[in-house]
Structure 1
Amino acid sequence: MTTDRNTRPQAVEKQDEEATKMGTSTGGQGPLEGAVIAVAGAAGPAGRATLLRLAEAGAVVVGSDSHPERLAEAVDAARYAHGGATVIGDTVDLLDLDQAREWADRTEKEFGRIDGLVHLVGGWRGSSTFAETDLADWDMLHKLLVRTVQHTSLAFYDALERSGNGRFLLTSAAGASKPTGGNAAYAASKAAAEAWTLAMADGFRKAGGEQGPRAAAAILIVKALVNDQMRAERPNAKFAGFTDVTELAEAIAGVWSRPAQEVNGQRLWLTPEP
């Protein structure tokens, strides 16, 4: 495992102090000012948009991906777009539970807290009909869409519960609730990831007791995602009902503005329910 952590000038140390002091109330600051947010799958289009939005909101952002060059580009773009923002990249294999735990432990040790884990690891495989489904697709999607959720949730659960305003956010697809014949492996993987996330939410609920959960696990659901590169490559495509990655990033950032009890265990639809 390699890491690409920036050096720590005085401005970074100051942000660390602010992050350590941040609680559920930030006075006149926004809810993400000084928050420490980890982003899994940070090198993809949705990850890049999320790094930018969280950095803009004043968060300390720690992104991970298995592609170091693409991750470095995403981290640099967020740093340059928001001068002074603390944005760090860690190359992590989230299929390795030990690496996921090391990532969480290292982040909490360095910044004193973790206030969020945004899970954006994606992938898709499908077939023309149900009968043509290739179970190799299931094997791959289970790793990408289920196993990485399991590892990040287990690695970050305790730190998020300790935060006082922690969030675990999974991005899912409407197809998980209404699968089609050719989309069996993908829909089943997404449904499994949703069920796992809701189980995590129940853990937060029980840990909070009568006072309610101190952290929340929630699911943001889209039909599909679109970005500027996709539009450029397919200028005549309509992308009807798709959610732009910048809109997803805005919705992600907004979850910290809502009470944990309100969003914990919820499916937050960014597209009409099927």
Structure 2
Amino acid sequence: MDAAAGGPALDGMVIAVAGAAGPAGRAAVLRLAAAGATVAAADADAARLKEVVDAAASAGSAKVTGETVDLLDADAARAWADGLEKEHGAVHGLVHLVGGWRGSKSFTGTDLADWDLLEKLLIRTAQHTSLAFHDALLRSGRGRFAIVSAAGATKPTAGNAAYGAAKAAAEAWTLALGDSFRKAAKAGGDAEPRAAAAILVIKALVHDAMRAERPDAKFAGFTDVKDLAEAIAGLWDRPAQEVNGHRLWLTPEPNRP
């Protein structure tokens, strides 16, 4: 049941959101909390994270907490995961929204320093969080892991070589996590996985501040962060086998070259 329809859909769930201080993170935190979840928000930016927690409190949710976590530190990520499970008894989700973008005017104009940054933001943080939360998500019985990817990972452009490659690597890592969930289910005698790893694919994101800054822009094909948050919350409404190891397109899928 959707929270707006008269009841919480995620009541009793404990969901961690990494990269919670950005526009997508803020929208996800507010939507998950509105649906009844206890939300553990994390970000490296303490000041912006506090703004998200305060916004949730102003919206009437007392179930959102914030913790400053350096997800480039594998031990810190594991301590975060272990601490949440110990405190709440279970962790039902990890929404990974750590992002970043760098591009160039041409393929040969690519600065490999962009790759160095994107590898850390888009890949390394996803590796650390997925490894840290893997067992807890299995133990919860309804675990969900989600990343946001871009259509450019499927059909990269010359000027987005580093970004497209980083997104593709993060997708591959998430698909491998989904395979781990499938194998764990099989080993336990279950026909279908109970935990799921999903990839939500967009063209790009847009939010209210972007529209205010560029009132004449069309943002064609962009996904509003509120719509992304709705899709994230809906992952627990669907059977694990429908989302595990799948790319869930929130924008039209491009024709492959």
TM-score normalised to the size of structure 1? 0.88
Q: Superposed, which structure 2 residues align to 1:120-199 within 5 Å? A: 120-199=97-176
Letter of the structure 2 residue corresponding to residue 149 of structure 1: A
Give the match's secondary structure for 2:10. Answer: coil
* 1:61 pairs with 2:39: yes
* 1:40 pairs with 2:18: yes
Give the match's secondary structure for 1:108. Answer: helix
Query: Residues of 2 paired with 1:30 and 1:163: CA distance?
Result: 19
Query: Residues of 2 paired with 1:29 and 1:213: CA distance?
Result: 27
Give the Å deviation of 1:261: 1.3
Contact (CA 8 Å) 2:151, 2:253: kept in 1 or not?
yes
Query: Residues of 1 paired with 2:7 and 2:21: CA distance?
Result: 28
Query: Residues of 1 paired with 2:147 and 2:48: CA distance?
Result: 21
* 1:94 pairs with 2:74: no
Give the match's secondary structure for 1:211. Answer: coil
Q: Superposed, which structure 2 residues align to 1:19-34 within 5 Å? A: 30-34=8-12
Contact (CA 8 Å) 2:10, 2:36: kept in 1 or not?
yes
Query: Residues of 1 paired with 2:143 and 2:35: CA distance?
Result: 16
Cα deviation code 1:55-109 (max 9, x no counterpart): 10000000000000000000110122024x3100010000000000000011111
| % same residue | 72
Displaced runs of 4+ in structure 1, greater than 3 A? Answer: 28-31
Letter of the structure 1 residue corresponding to residue 150 of structure 2: A
Give the match's secondary structure for 1:207. Answer: helix
Cα deviation code 1:97-141 (max 9, x no counterpart): 000000001111111100000000000000000010000000000
Letter of the structure 1 residue corresponding to residue 52 of structure 2: A
1:269 aligned partner:
249
Consecutive unaligned residues of structure 1, counting only runs of 5 or more, are: 1-27
Contact (CA 8 Å) 2:150, 2:203: kept in 1 or not?
yes
TM-score normalised to the size of structure 2? 0.94
Give the match's secondary structure for 1:34. Answer: coil
Cα deviation code 1:154-197 (max 9, x no counterpart): 00000000110000001110100000000000000000000000
Query: Residues of 1 paired with 2:57 and 2:125: CA distance?
Result: 26
Query: Residues of 1 paired with 2:149 and 2:29: CA distance?
Result: 18
Query: Residues of 2 paired with 1:75 and 1:64: CA distance?
Result: 10
Give the Å deviation of 1:34: 1.2
Query: Residues of 1 paired with 2:89 and 2:57: CA distance?
Result: 21
Query: Residues of 2 paired with 1:122 and 1:232: CA distance?
Result: 22
Consecutive unaligned residues of structure 2, counting only runs of 5 or more, are: 1-5
* 1:219 pairs with 2:199: yes
| Alignment RMSD | 1.1
1:235 aligned partner:
215
Query: Residues of 2 paired with 1:123 and 1:89: CA distance?
Result: 21
When the two structures are aligned, how many residues end up with a matched partner? 246
Cα deviation code 1:22-49 (max 9, x no counterpart): xxxxxx9644111000000000000000
